[in-house]
A and B are shown apart, each in its own frame.
Chain A
């Protein structure tokens, strides 16, 4: 067993894990952050997507000990309170979900995608960038629409702030 300490959604957390404990298990089982989902065994579905040190990664494909000392954001930490994050709001507005199982991973992938493309996003880029996230329900159409709308909302907000 190993002790790990990391920042999760802005708070310092510690725990004791086995070497083989996956980061997603630590988040869900030890910290009770069950918004991060597990949808596959093959590292392909992206339901487990979180941010580590500001970048999207699959929390099912890394060990909790690998994240020792890192800063982690999960879907629970995306908005700081009452209001939805603009990407969450856009998914609601554009009906970017049906059963919702893939949604936390989609939203974490989308926020990372928008951050890396301050110049804006076209449909083709969004579809390519969603390569690592699988949805069984929506056919992706409204997810793509939501992400393009969110990208515009985030970029407009940040250019107003500047």
Chain B
């Protein structure tokens, strides 16, 4: 790792000021992506601004159906929070499937979203829940936030402070983890709320997370696992890598959607 200058911020404003005065600074949240990337010199920031001690980023609130989660909330805290568990158990389930316990004790929802790894779990939930990403500058709808592989709508000097969504009537998540890394080889998050059905897919698209219209139209007609029988998803814009071909991922999408719907129906 190249050397780096560390700063610890006590507030969002202080974090923004510290980043602005740095040469080539980066925010540091749980460090579960950034520190490994610095160790292999894939990232080499001059300065790190540690967000882990900012109390205002750590809050979780559930008011009626409105769920707000501070960007600094760890995966372990999301998984264990009983209020989130009672209004949107699919999100608790998703958080509990990320990596391993040690990673979940450090890694945060804000870090995961800012990183937008094409095989990360949270982006699928945010897109399917039509969540709002709240930043130091503005509010961004999830569908405008995820731009491509490791790319988001965030400016260099923009900090995610929270995410917010309305808990739907039903939601579920099906994940086929890569047996080695535990990232999603394919993950599908489904939501049903009144007439609205959304199904977001992670781990499979060659341009990152996406809403899958084939799943959505089948499930809009009938929100049941049986409605997915015989449905095929085109493999054209899916990823092929050493782990799986695009065709295999296309069939995983339908299989994981079935699991997600089964969970949503309960």
Contact = CB atoms under 8 A, between A and B. Distances in A.
A56 interface: yes
Contacts of A68: 8
A46 interface: yes
Contacts of A109: 101-102
A46 B6 CA distance: 25
Interface residues of B, number: 29
A46 B100 contact: yes
Given A57-B102, A131-B101, A132-B101, 11 more contacts: A2-B6, A19-B48, A22-B1, A56-B101, A58-B106, A61-B36, A63-B31, A66-B31, A68-B8, A109-B101, A129-B101
Given A43-B36, A62-B106, A66-B31, A132 B100 contact: yes
B5 interface: yes
B21 interface: no
A112 B6 contact: no
A132 B99 contact: yes
B39 interface: yes
A57 B30 CA distance: 10
A43 B32 contact: yes
Contact of A66 (B5, B39, B52): B52
B35 A63 contact: yes
B93 to A, nearest CB: 13
**Interface of B, helix, strand, loop or mixed by DSSP:** mixed
B102 A46 contact: yes
A136 interface: no
A126 B50 CA distance: 32
Nearest to A64: B6
Contacts of A129: 100-101
A61 B106 contact: yes
Contacts of A63: 6, 31, 35, 48
Nearest to B5: A19
B182 interface: yes
Interface in B95-135: 99-103, 105-106
A20 B31 contact: no
Nearest to B74: A55
A112 B101 contact: yes
A102 interface: no
A58 B40 contact: no
Interface string A37-60: 000011110100100000111100
Nearest to A65: B6
Interface string B137-157: 000000000000000000000
A56 B102 contact: yes
B3 A57 contact: no
Interface string B151-195: 000000000000000000000000000001110000000000000
Nearest to A17: B6
Contacts of B28: 66
A75 interface: no
